[in-house]
Structure 1
């Protein structure tokens, strides 16, 4: 069990990290978020599957791809799956694990990649689709999941 002092220190570190992410997101961030544990139950299992080395990705991109092409690829993936406008992005911070963002069709991925390190996880506003993009050994992988299954 964590002592009160350790808990306070962890919460303060998380708050500082969260403030930095929100500042870096700029106009993409809406200030909203899902509370810890507020994502649907299927999301955790889908993330675990996506991060498993035994799961085949839905799409691949070479890891030596220039950053602007990576950004266009990420933006295209989300647009293909109807994920523009309101969506949630995993922050990797316990206090606010899913930050609400408002993303246009293009021109936003570089800002998001600067704000949040990979894996980049996107949950659709209606909480029914998940796209996970992660850097693997020689490529970027994309995994797409839906509420009704993988």
Structure 2
């Protein structure tokens, strides 16, 4: 936050962020539990793993061609999370500052399309136990999956 920002600009930014958060929560619908992690609850290891994921030197777990149909992308993303033990109660990155991680209860299958429609890419998932992270993102020619553990 810019300390020199005027109060009016801060209020405008806060209203925009609240509107963006409400839109994400609405689109997630019944997946949401109503709980979330606040910005001060973000985990240092997860922040470091997210930063490491963007390095060209980081080895990815799996790749999927970028021209893959949406239903196959959804099945692949769901399988990536299951393979890395991130299932059921999961924190989904909202990309909105006031509530950066929204807790969701994911069924075994059929949830990825809803998350993709609610949250902008990259899609970041933190396990309910806060010890595993899975990132699904689109690169130029591939969708990429990166996983990390605390």
TM-score, normalized by length of structure 2?
0.95
- Do residues 42 (structure 1) and 45 (structure 2) align? yes
Q: Give the C-alpha shift of residue 101 in structure 1.
A: 0.3
2:32 matched to which residue of 1?
A: 29
- Report whether the alignment pairs 1:132 with 2:135: yes
Counterpart-to-counterpart distance in 1, 2:18 and 2:54: 26
Tell me how far 1:125 sits from its aligned partner: 0.4
How big is the shift at 1:37? 2.5
Matched residues, number: 147
Partner of 1:57: 60
1:139 is displaced (CA, Å) by 0.3
For structure 2, the 5+ residue unaligned runs are none
Check whether the contact 2:90–2:106 (CA below 8 A) recurs between aligned residues: yes
Q: Which residue in 1 is equivalent to 2:88?
A: 85
Give distance in 1, aligned partners of 2:28 and 2:7. Answer: 31
Conservation of the 8 A alpha-carbon contact between 1:39 and 1:127 = no
Q: TM-score, normalised to structure 1's length?
A: 0.95
Q: What residue in structure 2 maps to residue 120 of structure 1?
A: 123
Runs (4 or more) in structure 1 with deviation over 6 Å come to none
Identify unmatched segments of 5+ residues in structure 1. none
C-alpha contact (below 8 Å) 2:86/2:133 kept by paired residues: no
CA–CA distance in structure 1, aligned partners of residues 40 and 54 of structure 2? 19
Separation in structure 2 between the aligned mates of residue 49 and residue 143 of structure 1, nearest angstrom: 10
